[in-house]
Amino acid sequence: MKIPPNTRRVLLIIAILLPLAGLFLFTAVRTGPLAPVPVTLAEVENQALTPALFGIGTVEARYRFKIGPTRTGRLATLTVDVGDAVKKGQQLGTLDPVDLDARIASQQSSLDALESHVSMARSRVAEAKAQQNYAANQLSRYRELLRSNAVLIRLAPGTDPDATADAIRRWKRLQVYTRAEMEQILIGKLIATSARQIGLFLIILAIVSAAIVAFIIYTMTMAKIREIAVLKLIGTRNRTIAAMILQQALGLGLIGFAVGKIIATAWAPYFPKYVLLVPGDTVRGFIAVLVICTLASLLAIRIALKVDPAEAIG
């Protein structure tokens, strides 16, 4: 007989479940709630009862605290035991300082090293501050130098200028000149160049001034040519006419000199570069003005002397 596969599968499951169900029932009946409770029978006796309690238990503290040393070390003595009552501040035991000295020594050396570092750092700060001050001074000095271009050093009496100059040259690589060298430079170069420039300027100024004065005198003379002819006609000497023209030119020069001198004296302080004028310069300038005016009047005098007295008539 052939059993269908589904039936076979059901039969297989039943075959597995049946033993399991039997095992469950046996266990429940023998050891489980369904198992029989053993009972001891005793005879009831009438006796007096004495109340008593007996038990075994564990005493536990209500609060627990963990204590420990702040430094590691070996425990040398312990004066308390479990369950002892202790008070605040009570010594519980002692620690054996096995490597404490070594550690103190090490810490001390570390401390010393750190202190030396602090000292070094302080000295570095001081040095840095000194350098800062020096740099600030140098900055200020170089700014001053930038403005002034040169620094004048006054030596203490008895100091050798050449030795000082050499030292400064090596020290700062600056150009150093002693008084003698500086005088040589000033006279030979700077002052000579300035003198040439001022001289050239003065020459141009003198030529221009002479041309202006000559033009003015010439114009004034030409405007009075008829009067000059009349003067010659009525018997005026040539030298008198020349003297009149010269007088006019010198008068112009004197006025110009006075105005120029007053203006120069009043305005000179307001100019960036001061040109020192000594009284000798004023005298020389005055003489130059007179000479320029005299030369400038020559053309006008020449024309005046050429005037024909006949021009006054007709």
User: Site residues (CB under 8 A) for other proteins?
Assistant: 224, 226-227, 230-237, 240, 248, 308-310, 312-314
Please, which residue, 236 or 282, has the CB nearer to other proteins?
A: 236
Least Å distance between CB 305 and other proteins? 13
Least Å distance between CB 256 and other proteins? 18
Please, which residue, 182 or 233, has the CB nearer to other proteins?
A: 233
Please, which residue, 68 or 314, has the CB nearer to other proteins?
A: 314
Question: Do residues 77 and 71 make contact, with C-beta atoms less than 8 angstroms apart?
Answer: no
In terms of phi and psi (left: phi > 0; alpha: psi -120 to 50; beta: otherwise), the region of 158 is left
Least Å distance between CB 309 and other proteins? 5
Least Å distance between CB 186 and other proteins? 50
Find the Cα–Cα–Cα–Cα dihedral 84, 89, 91, 94, rounded to 10°. 130
Least Å distance between CB 223 and other proteins? 9
Please, which residue, 100 or 233, has the CB nearer to other proteins?
A: 233
Helix (H) or strand (E) holding 107: helix 100-148
Question: Do residues 306 and 242 make contact, with C-beta atoms less than 8 angstroms apart?
Answer: no
Per-residue tokens: 85: 């009552």
Considering only CA atoms, which of 290, 208, 217 is closest in space to residue 248?
217
Considering only CA atoms, which of 156, 196, 153, 159 is closest in space to residue 176?
153
Please, which residue, 161 or 309, has the CB nearer to other proteins?
A: 309
- The rounded distance, in Å, linking the Cα atoms of 180 and 185 is 9
